[in-house]
């Protein structure tokens, strides 16, 4: 039985209803007219050659083979498929470990963390354990904490990079240490990389670090966050060929990818360099706005990571729900930290254009002033 996901219940409809959206983290682009299909930004971009399929475009971006790529209906779909494949073991049923042990599999998830990444393995029948990414360590990923929290039944370890909700970014070297810990326990490390490209440099895939093709590792990503085409609903996972084959078997149970979505994704990723320039400009502008806003206020605390448009913050006298509710009364969307395992905090996400989020921060500043009175 899949548990309710309180965050998705709470957030549904709010971005559209908000006067100021400081809760949505995707770098959103204009959508088609009501009867349209093609997002305006894609309308005038060149189409890739007919013989260049989507799997090849993604594989080339990660410098892997097409046998290492599985296209999915977004990152949530990719995470579901990856967890199901990891928790099911190597060809065994989801409730059986290799060798006939009938104990339920275990998933190890970061804390604080994104609620759906906890709810999904629970729905798949796993026992969920947690390891900490503490605020006092700037929410950094510590492979030693991962290793210490594993048990014999751990089959899947789930992290986000950048970390959601803090924006903390782990290097590939750190991810390699975590992957070795997973491999030593015969577990799979699942790295949700939807925020990895949120940066100003061009270090790797889409500008950010990737854990792709580290041992016992599967990464997921999508069109939604960095490229800003959430309505297309296409994502992917990258892993070794054996894991991709297992994940494909899961996909047969949940087919959900549209041909138009695949075609639009081909066009977008073929022109990724051009699209990424706009994304990086917005990241740099909005990150500067967020950093200035936090620095100028004495009543909130929290780090604004370099090259990142979102962060996790706390107020000196109000918890996350109190801040979020006060903001919502003024039409401002701010996400309370209880959806990320920390009720004292809240997440600010500046995904929209620079002028829009500037107005939102000004309005939110007035809300914080009222809270302090």
pLDDT per position as a tens digit, 90-130: 543 333 344 444 657 999 999 999 999 999 999 999 999 99
Residue 202 pLDDT: 64
Question: How much is the pTM?
Answer: 0.94
Q: What are phi and psi of 232, to 5 degrees?
A: -70, -30
Condensed to tens digits (0 to 9), the pLDDT of residues 283-315 reads 999 999 999 999 999 999 999 999 999 999 999
**Percent of the chain having pLDDT more than 70?**
95
Residue 143 has pLDDT above 70, yes or no: yes
pLDDT of res. 92: 39
Mean pLDDT of the chain: 93
pLDDT, tens digit, 9 for 90 and up, residues 213-247: 999 999 999 999 999 999 999 999 999 999 999 99
pLDDT value at 131 more than 90: yes
**Predicted pLDDT at 97:** 40
- Phi and psi at residue 345, to the nearest 5°: -115, 175
Residue 40 and residue 278 in contact, taking contact as beta carbons nearer than 8 Å: no
Domains of the chain: 17-28+274-372 (3.90.1150.10), 47-271 (3.40.640.10)
Residue of 190, 254, 194 lying closest to 229 (CA atoms): 194
Rounded percentage of the chain residues whose pLDDT exceeds 90: 84
Task: Please state, in angstroms and rounded to a whole number, the distance separating the CA atoms of residues 241 and 235.
Answer: 18
């Amino acid at each position: 039985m899949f548990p309710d996901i309180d965050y998705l219940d709470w957030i549904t409809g709010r971005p559209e209803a908000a006067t100021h959206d400081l809760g949505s983290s995707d770098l959103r682009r204009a959508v088609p007219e009501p009867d349209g299909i093609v997002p305006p930004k894609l309308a005038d971009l060149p189409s890739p050659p007919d013989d260049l399929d989507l799997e090849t475009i993604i594989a080339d971006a990660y410098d892997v083979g097409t046998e290492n790529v599985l296209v999915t209906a977004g990152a949530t779909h990719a995470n579901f498929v990856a967890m199901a494949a990891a928790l099911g073991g190597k060809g065994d049923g989801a409730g059986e470990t290799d060798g006939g042990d009938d104990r339920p599999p275990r998933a190890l998830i970061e804390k604080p963390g994104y609620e759906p990444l906890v709810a999904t393995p629970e729905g798949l029948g796993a026992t969920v354990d947690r390891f900490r990414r503490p605020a006092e360590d700037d929410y950094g990923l510590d492979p030693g904490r991962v290793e210490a929290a594993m048990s014999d039944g751990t089959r899947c370890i789930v992290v986000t990079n950048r970390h959601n909700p803090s924006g903390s970014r782990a290097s590939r070297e750190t991810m390699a240490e975590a992957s070795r810990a997973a491999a030593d326990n015969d577990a799979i490390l699942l790295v949700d990389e939807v925020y990895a490209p949120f940066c100003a440099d061009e270090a790797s895939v889409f500008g950010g670090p990737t854990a792709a093709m580290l041992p016992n590792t599967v990464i997921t990503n999508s069109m939604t966050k960095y490229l800003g085409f959430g309505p297309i609903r296409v994502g992917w996972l990258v892993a070794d060929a054996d894991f991709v084959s297992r994940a494909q078997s899961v996909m047969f149970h949940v087919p959900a990818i549209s041909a138009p979505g695949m075609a639009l994704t081909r066009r977008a990723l073929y022109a990724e360099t051009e699209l990424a320039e706009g994304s990086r400009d917005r990241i740099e502008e909005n990150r500067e706005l967020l950093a200035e806003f936090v620095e100028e206020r004495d009543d909130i605390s929290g780090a604004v990571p370099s090259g990142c448009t979102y962060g996790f913050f706390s107020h000196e006298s109000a918890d996350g729900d109190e801040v979020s509710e006060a903001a919502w009364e003024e039409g401002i969307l701010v996400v309370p930290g209880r959806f990320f395992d920390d009720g004292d905090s809240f997440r600010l996400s500046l995904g929209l254009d620079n002028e829009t989020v500037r107005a939102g921060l000004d309005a939110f500043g007035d809300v914080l002033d009222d809270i302090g009175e």
